[in-house]
Structure 1
Amino acid sequence: MAIRCINLKPIFRFLSCNYRQISSCTSELLQNRTVLTIERASCSEFLQGLITNDMDLLSSQKSLYTMLLNSKGRVLFDAIVYKTESPDKFHLECCSDVADAVSKHLRVYSLRKKIAVSKSSLSVWAVFCDSGVDKDFIPDPRCIDPWVFRCLSESPPSRDVKNGIYTKLRISLGIAEGSKEIPVGEAFPLEYNADFLNGVSFDKGCYVGQELTARVHHTGVVRKRIMPLELPEEPSEDCDLSKPVIDVESSKAVGKIRGLCENRAVALMRVKETISSKGLCWGNLNLKANIPVWWPLLMTESLVQ
Structure 2
Amino acid sequence: MRPTLPSCNARALAQSGATLLQLPRIIASRRLSSSALCGSPSTSLHLATSRNPLSAVPCRTRTFASSAIVCSQPSANGAEWKLAKVPNRGAVEVSGRDTVKLLQGLVSNDVKALASATEPHAPALVYAGFMNPQGRMLADVFIHRQAPLQDGSPRWLLDIDSRTLPSLLAFIKKFKLRSKVKLSDVSDEYSVVQAWSSAASPPSSTLTEQLSLDPRCPTIGYRGVVSHEALTKLREQTASVEDEEYTIHRILQGIAEGALDVPEAASLPLENNLDYMHGVDFRKGCYVGQELTARTHHTGVVRKRIVPLQFYLPGTPAPDTLHVDRAAKFQLPTHLAEVRSKPVAAASAAAKPARGKAAGKFTSGIYNLGLACLRLEQVQRWTDASNPTSEDGLEMSVLSADGETTLLVKPHIPKWWPEPPQPADNDPQE
Verify same fold: TM over 0.5. yes
More strand by share: 1
What is the aligned length? 279
Q: Residue 151 of structure 1: CA displacement?
A: 2.6
| Deviation of 1:25 (Å) | 3.0
**Equivalent residue in structure 2 for 1:43, among 99, 116, 130:** 99
Aligned to 2:14: none
Q: Residue 163 of structure 2 aligns to a residue in which SS?
A: helix
Aligned partner (choices 194, 209, 212) of residue 138 of structure 1: 212
1-side partners of 2:87 and 2:167: how far apart? 18
Q: 2:143 aligns with which of 72, 81, 94?
A: 81
- Measured after TM superposition, the shift of residue 196 of structure 1 is 0.5
AA in 1 matched with 2:210: D
Q: Aligned equivalents of 1:64 and 1:255: distance in 2?
A: 29
Identity %: 30
Once residues 242 and 36 of structure 1 are traced to their aligned partners in structure 2, the CA distance between those partners, rounded to angstroms, is 28
> Aligned to 2:411, which of 276, 289, 294?
289
Instruction: Determine the structure 1 residue equivalent to 2:48.
Output: none
Equivalence for 1:105: 171
Q: Does 1:219 align with 2:299?
A: yes
Q: What's the offset of the Cα at 1:237?
A: 4.4
Show CA shifts across 1:111-156 (max 9, x none).
221310102211111122443333212111212x242211322232
Q: CA deviation digits over 1:163-204, x for unaligned, max 9?
A: 121001111211111112211011111111111010111101
For 2:296 and 2:329, how far apart are their aligned partners in 1? 35
Code of the aligned partner of 1:226: I
Moved over 3 A (4+): 233-243
Q: Deviations over 1:211-252 (max 9, x none)?
A: 111111111100011111011274644743443222231722
**Equivalent residue number for residue 128 of structure 1:** 196
Q: Tell me, what secondary structure is at the counterpart of 1:231?
A: strand
Q: Distance in 2 between matches of 1:255 and 1:223?
A: 11
Unmatched segments (≥5 aa) in structure 2: 1-77, 313-324, 347-355, 384-394, 400-405, 424-430
In structure 1, what is the Cα distance between the partners aligned to 2:332 and 2:123? 42
C-alpha offsets along residues 44-84 of structure 1, whole Å, 9 cap, x if unaligned? Answer: 11100000111133123111110011010101111000111
- The structure, 1 or 2, with the larger RCO (C-alpha pairs under 8 Å, 6+ apart) is 1
Which letter maps to 2:88?
A: N
Q: What TM-score, normalized by structure 1, do the two folds share?
A: 0.85
For 1:188, the aligned partner's letter is L
Aligned residue for 1:187, secondary structure, equals coil
SS at match of 1:247: strand
CA RMSD of aligned residues (A): 2.0
Unaligned runs of 5+ in 1: 1-21
Q: Which of 1 and 2 has greater Rg?
A: 2
Equivalence for 2:133: 71
1:46/1:240 CA distance change after superposition, 3 Å: closer
**C-alpha distance in 2 between matches for 1:48 and 1:210:** 12
Please state how far the C-alpha of 1:40 moved relative to its aligned partner.
0.3
The whole-number CA distance in structure 1 between the counterparts of 2:332 and 2:270 is: 30
The 8 Å contact of residues 244 and 254 in structure 1, kept in 2 or not, is answered as yes
TM-score by length of 2: 0.61
Query: Equivalent of 2:159, from 79, 82, 93?
Result: 93
By how many angstroms is 1:260 displaced? 0.8
Q: Which amino acid aligns with 1:127?
A: A
Q: Is the 8 A contact 1:36 1:118 kept in 2?
A: yes
In structure 1, distance between residues paired with 2:332 and 2:215: 34
Question: SS where residue 288 of structure 1 aligns?
Answer: strand
